[in-house]
């Protein structure tokens, strides 16, 4: 990994500003993949996102078009200070033009501000907080794959409508957890349900016993898990130990990825219902991508975050090609102008508040008997059309949206 | 504490003399290097090193000259950082007032923790500072205004004294350098003053100092508060430079880092903490791409220093030239 | 639903029980730390890392050698104990003449190295370790379901703690150890090999930490940083109980686990801090700890 980066850097230094594109800064389009590579979010994004970005660059045919594209990556360790320092160093010293991915909403918000200050581009695939297209919206940021509002709208609605009207939240205590809890609570209340209690836990918690006990004591029908990655899988495993489901309550995984299901195994994960915006087994194009991805990433099939990185980088390169420049603010504006089209998400658009629009899917995890092949995990319960999947433009409080 | 006595045997003898020529030379060299550096090295990195150098110097006052190992010093850095960040962002204060506010809060916290801890000695002192620091840490995790895991972000930089635009990175650098030098000189004057002599006497043999009529506890407390206040100055400045205050700055691993910087540079030497801070920050920067190797290297340095390199870099240099540094 | 002080009994007893389980870990870890400090005057900051190594050895035994949990309980403490002995012989020995604090700094550095190496290799989210099949399932106690494994943890650690206490306080070997701390030269003059006792004692303390790690693996997931934040809490326990007092550590460990559990019921935000508040209070009133003796 380090060697690759060193070679990349050396190449840049050796070739200098020779470029086919006149106004591309230093003749190189440099993309930085910033995410968690060693902790609880490493599986759902991590190295897989780097693979997805490289595949996007290759499939775009950058070399044939004479565009020099470099990819670097770094681990933000889920810390806002580490992520900020990397972003600053990348923008100031290493001449990175665009940062992509950034799971962990706290880090994403920090990098969002820095990107705006320096006029670069940020394409968020991993982070969830809907504030990125709301209060914190910026002309330099596009929120690509999903957000807390879409999850709440999909999963929250579905569960409440089928009778889950009393909730207890177990929430990760940072920007993402708070946003997800807030958005799901709003949906629950709108549909006539009640929230009986909430408890916050630190990020990357190993032992959920006391939180699960509180959930049990509340007697809420639904225990909503407003967390992700390792936190979610730990909660689900320990809930089984403490007999939560046997006692009559249901678990609602508000943000679950296919890698989580893979880690939990179908016997434990079966029946979970949640919202995603991509599934590898949707159609032939997604299946083809998944096959190539798995070959390059140790057999792991792509999560919606990996797919989002691919889609975002593809659209970015198209915009840079059309503009013949990699100036952050201008490229983002161009990306909003151009409709999107890629094999993974199909046709879509990017709204003026920076929100990428595409359909969402309500999925249910199959029972072990129903699964015919490895990674064959989901049943598609419903498709939410693109116009309904995300928060309406006028409800976001984004200053870029003219009233 | 045997450690500091080992570290500055030459200093003990020359303590009463005015700053030797070699110390003035070293100081001039340091200033010259720091003034020239931003034209060659990324200024943000230098500013980080300067803030930590000030922090380490303040910490060194306590461990090198008073002989007390505080294992919770990060809280002064972090609480000042949060205060300054909050003052600059939510109250809209100009940076100099925000930093001063942070420094004041750290000083007040120093008075509280110092008063509680100062009666203990040695390992008990380290333990109680650690316990109190953990309480402050968990307060920071819970309190609404600190933003929990996200920290306080997007802290505005503003205009220092209404004149210097801190968004200009070179302007910011020289302001930070000025702050560092001010703190450094204050510490230097403290060490080489009658007050500093009493501190050394207390460190060498407390009962004897007490029998001479000096209230050991009061002197130690003043030194503790001074150390805390200057740590706060470093923390407040850091928050404005990085426009961010986060839990990392109050976590006990940060307390461990400042011990590392001081130990590596040289306990009880004047320039040691500065050198130590620069080395550690450079290592972190250089190794950052290699992930967890940073902690491994830090740990290895600790082990090597404790086993065979107790005087630290500057301490060894001082021994070679046989003059205090 | 019955209530006590306005809290439903289900919540109260449930958290108390969880507190007891956490307390078992505090007790076992503080026991090891106390043995090491009491008999060696070393503050073993690497204790958390050694706890973590115990859990990892259990993980490796399962993954690479196919040896399950029950073997791990025996083998992991031995392996990590040997590592401890090597550490003591090569590094700690040289610091006995110096101030306590150097021992603290050395073991702190060792902890950083060990945790960093493991984190590099394995990342910092947990690796799964299954609960041994004999201990899966739970017992419905009415107010909560008590997983069998967690009940086992409480029983086993109580047993280990009491066993250790008995050996040190009531057997001849323990008497030699205690005598060796008070007056090493005199005991050496009687023909007892004091340096070897010290080395073995350190190894034993470390083995206790590793044993706690094996116990923790199925509950807390095997994670390179699992000992890092725990060590600070364990320090507090040892200080409250009295550094060097075996009984003090055991009692305080369990008691503090329960206090933490109670705090979670009445005032959850403070549950992290309550141990440190108590430590600060105890240090102010009785600086040598509740059961400690002046050294």
| Predicted ipTM of the assembly | 0.85
Mean pLDDT computed over B212-222: 90
All residues of chain B having their beta carbon less than 8 Å from the beta carbon of residue A173 are 141, 148-149
Are B289 and A2 an interchain contact pair (Cβ–Cβ within 8 Å)?
Answer: yes
Bigger pLDDT: B258 vs C40? B258
- For C153-189, write each residue's pLDDT tens digit: 999 999 999 999 898 888 888 888 778 777 778 888 8
Ranking A197-206, A226-235, B86-95 by mean pLDDT, the lowest is: A197-206
Mean pLDDT computed over A304-331: 93
Nearest to B260 by CA among B94, B119, B71: B71
Are A93 and B242 an interchain contact pair (Cβ–Cβ within 8 Å)?
Answer: no
Tell me: pLDDT of B74 over 80. yes
Nearest to B56 by CA among B79, B38, B43, B74: B74
Cβ of B287 under 8 Å from any chain A Cβ? no
Q: What is the DSSP letter of C127?
A: B
For chain A, first and last CA: distance in Å? 47
Mean pLDDT computed over A70-93: 91
Cβ of B149 under 8 Å from any chain A Cβ? yes
CA C87 – CA C53 distance, rounded (Å)? 14
Mean pLDDT computed over B150-173: 86
CA C287 – CA C242 distance, rounded (Å)? 9
> How would residue C142 be classed by pLDDT, with cut points 50, 70 and 90?
confident
> How would residue C7 be classed by pLDDT, with cut points 50, 70 and 90?
low
CA C184 – CA A286 distance, rounded (Å)? 73
3-state class (DSSP) for residue A121: strand
Give the gap in angstroms from C-alpha A76 to the nearest C-alpha of chain B.
9
Query: Cβ contacts of residue B217 below 8 Å, gap of 6+?
Result: B118, B119
Sign of the CA dihedral running B41, B45, B51, B54? negative
| Highest mean pLDDT out of A108-117, C60-69, C131-140, C141-150 | A108-117
All residues of chain A having their beta carbon less than 8 Å from the beta carbon of residue B248 are 79, 81-82
Q: Which residue of B has its CA nearest to C284?
A: B116
Tell me: pLDDT of B174 over 90. yes
Q: B61: burial class by Cβ within 10 Å (0-12, 13-18, 19+)? A: buried
Number of neighbours of residue C82 by Cβ within 10 angstroms: 13
All residues of chain B having their beta carbon less than 8 Å from the beta carbon of residue A106 are 149-151
Residue limits of CATH 3.40.50.2300 in chain A: 2-146+282-357, 149-276+360-388
Bigger pLDDT: C194 vs C152? C152
Query: Cβ contacts of residue B243 below 8 Å, gap of 6+?
Result: A84, A113, B153, B154, B155, B156, B157
Cβ of B143 under 8 Å from any chain C Cβ? no
CA B114 – CA B129 distance, rounded (Å)? 8
Ranking B156-165, B172-181, C49-58 by mean pLDDT, the lowest is: B156-165
Q: Is C3-285 CATH 1.10.3470? A: yes
Please report the pLDDT score of residue C136 as a whole number.
83
- The neighbouring-strand residues paired with C127 are C222
Please report the pLDDT score of residue C6 as a whole number.
60
Radius of gyration of chain B (CA): 19
Number of neighbours of residue A288 by Cβ within 10 angstroms: 12
Cβ of B242 under 8 Å from any chain A Cβ? yes
Bigger pLDDT: A170 vs C244? A170
Are B150 and A109 an interchain contact pair (Cβ–Cβ within 8 Å)?
Answer: yes
Architecture of domain B13-34+42-321: Orthogonal Bundle (1.10)
> How would residue C293 be classed by pLDDT, with cut points 50, 70 and 90?
low
Helix, strand counts (H, E) of chain C: 11, 4
The topology under which CATH files domain A2-146+282-357 is Rossmann fold (3.40.50)
Phi, psi for A75 (deg, rounded to 5): -105, 120
User: In A34-174, which residue ranges form alpha helices assigned H by DSSP?
Assistant: 46-60, 80-92, 105-118, 148-151, 157-161
CA A7 – CA A72 distance, rounded (Å)? 11
3-state class (DSSP) for residue C17: helix
Query: Would strands A356-357 and A346-350 be described as parallel, antiparallel, or unpaired?
Result: antiparallel
- The neighbouring-strand residues paired with A166 are A194
Please report the pLDDT score of residue B5 as a whole number.
41
Bigger pLDDT: A191 vs C184? A191
Mean pLDDT computed over A59-70: 89
A119 within 8 A of A99, measured Cβ to Cβ? no
Please report the pLDDT score of residue B60 as a whole number.
95
Mean pLDDT computed over A229-250: 87
Tell me: pLDDT of C58 over 90. yes
The CATH superfamily of A149-276+360-388 is Response regulator (3.40.50.2300)
Nearest to C280 among B116, B253, B294 (CB): B116
Ranking A21-35, A289-303, B50-64, C85-99 by mean pLDDT, the lowest is: A21-35
Domain ranges of chain C: 3-285
Are B42 and A113 an interchain contact pair (Cβ–Cβ within 8 Å)?
Answer: no
């Amino acid at each position: 990994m380090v060697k690759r980066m060193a070679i990349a850097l050396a190449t840049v230094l050796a070739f200098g500003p020779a470029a086919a594109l006149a106004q591309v800064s230093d003749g190189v389009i440099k993309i930085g993949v910033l995410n968690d590579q060693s902790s609880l979010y490493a599986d759902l994004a991590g190295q897989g996102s780097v693979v997805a970005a490289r595949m996007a660059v290759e499939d775009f045919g950058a070399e044939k078009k004479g565009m020099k594209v470099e990819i670097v990556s770094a681990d933000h360790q889920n810390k806002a200070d580490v992520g900020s320092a990397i972003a600053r160093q990348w923008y100031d010293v290493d001449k990175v033009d665009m940062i992509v991915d950034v799971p962990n909403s706290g880090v994403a918000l920090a990098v969002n501000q820095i990107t705006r200050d320096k006029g670069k581009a940020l394409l968020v695939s991993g982070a969830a907080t809907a504030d990125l297209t709301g209060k914190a919206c910026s002309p330099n940021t596009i929120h690509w794959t999903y957000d807390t509002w879409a999850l709440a709208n999909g999963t929250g609605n579905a569960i409440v409508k089928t009778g889950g009207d009393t909730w207890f939240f177990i929430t990760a205590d940072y920007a993402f957890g708070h946003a997800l809890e807030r958005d799901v609570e709003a949906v629950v209340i709108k549909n006539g349900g009640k929230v009986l209690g909430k408890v916050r836990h630190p990020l990357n918690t190993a032992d959920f016993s006391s939180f699960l006990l509180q959930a049990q004591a509340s007697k809420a029908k639904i225990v909503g898990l407003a967390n992700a990655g390792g936190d979610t899988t730990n909660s689900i495993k320990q809930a089984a130990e403490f007999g939560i489901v046997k006692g009559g309550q249901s678990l609602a995984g508000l943000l679950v990825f296919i890698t989580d299901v893979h880690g939990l195994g179908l016997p434990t994960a079966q029946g979970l219902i949640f919202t995603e915006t991509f599934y590898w087994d949707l159609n032939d194009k997604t299946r083809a991508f998944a096959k190539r991805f798995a070959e390059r990433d140790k057999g792991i099939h792509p999560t919606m975050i990996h797919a989002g990185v691919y889609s975002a980088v593809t659209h970015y390169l198209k915009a840079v090609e059309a503009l013949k420049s990699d100036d952050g603010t201008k490229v983002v504006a161009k990306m909003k102008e151009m409709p999107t089209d890629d094999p993974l998400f199909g046709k879509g658009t990017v709204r003026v508040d920076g929100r990428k629009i595409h359909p969402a899917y309500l999925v249910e995890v199959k029972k072990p008997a129903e699964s015919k092949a490895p990674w064959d995990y989901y049943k598609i319960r419903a498709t939410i059309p693109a116009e309904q999947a995300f928060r309406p433009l006028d409800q976001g409080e984004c200053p870029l949206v003219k009233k | 504490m045997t450690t500091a006595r080992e570290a500055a045997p030459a200093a003990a003898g020359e303590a009463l003399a005015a700053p030797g020529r070699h110390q003035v030379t070293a100081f001039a060299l340091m200033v010259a290097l720091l003034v020239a550096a931003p034209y060659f090295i990324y200024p943000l990195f230098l500013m980080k090193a300067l803030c930590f150098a000030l922090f380490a110097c303040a910490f060194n006052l306590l461990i090198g000259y008073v002989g007390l190992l505080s294992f919770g010093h990060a809280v002064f850095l972090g609480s000042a950082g949060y205060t300054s960040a909050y003052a600059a962002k939510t109250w809209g204060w100009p940076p100099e007032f925000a930093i001063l506010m942070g420094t004041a809060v750290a000083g007040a916290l120093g008075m509280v923790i110092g008063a509680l801890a100062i009666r203990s000695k040695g390992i008990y002192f380290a333990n109680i500072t650690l316990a109190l620091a953990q309480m402050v840490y968990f307060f920071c995790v819970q309190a609404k205004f600190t933003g929990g895991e996200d920290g306080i972000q997007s802290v505005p930089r503003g205009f220092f004294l209404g004149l210097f635009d801190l968004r200009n990175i070179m302007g910011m650098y020289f302001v930070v350098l000025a702050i560092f030098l001010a703190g450094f000189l204050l510490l230097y004057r403290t060490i080489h003053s009658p007050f500093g002599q009493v501190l050394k006497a207390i460190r060498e043999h407390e009962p004897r100092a007490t029998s001479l009529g000096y209230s050991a506890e009061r002197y130690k407390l003043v030194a503790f508060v001074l150390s805390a206040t200057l740590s706060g100055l470093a923390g407040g400045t850091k928050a404005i430079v990085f426009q961010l205050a986060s839990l990392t700055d109050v976590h006990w691993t940060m307390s461990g880092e400042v011990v590392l910087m001081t130990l590596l540079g040289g306990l009880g030497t004047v320039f040691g903490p500065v050198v130590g801070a620069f080395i550690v920050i450079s290592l972190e920067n250089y190794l950052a791409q290699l992930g967890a190797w940073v902690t491994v290297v830090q740990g290895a340095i600790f082990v090597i220093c404790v086993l065979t390199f107790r005087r630290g870099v500057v301490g060894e240099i001082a021994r070679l030239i046989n003059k205090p540094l | 639903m019955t209530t006590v002080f306005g809290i439903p009994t289900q919540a109260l007893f449930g958290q108390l029980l969880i507190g007891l389980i956490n307390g078992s870990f505090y007790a076992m870890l503080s026991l090891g730390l106390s043995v090491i400090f009491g008999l060696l005057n070393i503050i073993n900051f690497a204790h958390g890392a050694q706890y973590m190594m115990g859990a990892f050895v259990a993980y490796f035994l399962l993954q690479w050698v196919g040896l399950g949990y029950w073997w791990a309980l025996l083998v992991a403490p031995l392996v990590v104990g040997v590592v401890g002995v090597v550490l003591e012989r090569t590094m700690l020995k040289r610091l006995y003449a110096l101030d306590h604090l150097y021992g603290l700094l050395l073991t702190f550095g060792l902890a950083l190295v060990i945790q960093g190496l493991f984190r590099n290799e394995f990342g910092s989210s947990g690796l799964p370790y299954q609960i041994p099949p004999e201990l899966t399932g739970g017992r419905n106690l009415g107010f909560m379901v008590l997983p069998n494994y967690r009940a086992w943890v409480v029983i086993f650690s109580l047993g280990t703690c009491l066993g250790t206490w008995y050996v040190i306080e009531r057997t001849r070997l323990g008497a030699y150890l205690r005598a060796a701390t008070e007056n090493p030269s005199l005991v050496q003059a009687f023909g007892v090999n004091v340096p070897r006792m010290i080395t073995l004692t350190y190894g034993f303390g470390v083995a206790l930490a590793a044993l706690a790690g094996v116990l923790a693996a199925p509950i807390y997931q095997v994670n390179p940083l699992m000992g890092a934040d725990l060590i600070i809490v364990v320090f507090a326990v040892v200080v409250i109980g009295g550094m060097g007092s075996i009984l003090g550590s055991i009692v305080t460990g369990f008691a503090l686990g329960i206090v933490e559990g109670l705090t979670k019921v009445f005032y959850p935000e403070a549950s992290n801090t309550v141990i440190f508040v108590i430590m600060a209070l105890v240090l102010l009133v009785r600086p040598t700890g509740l059961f400690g003796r002046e050294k």
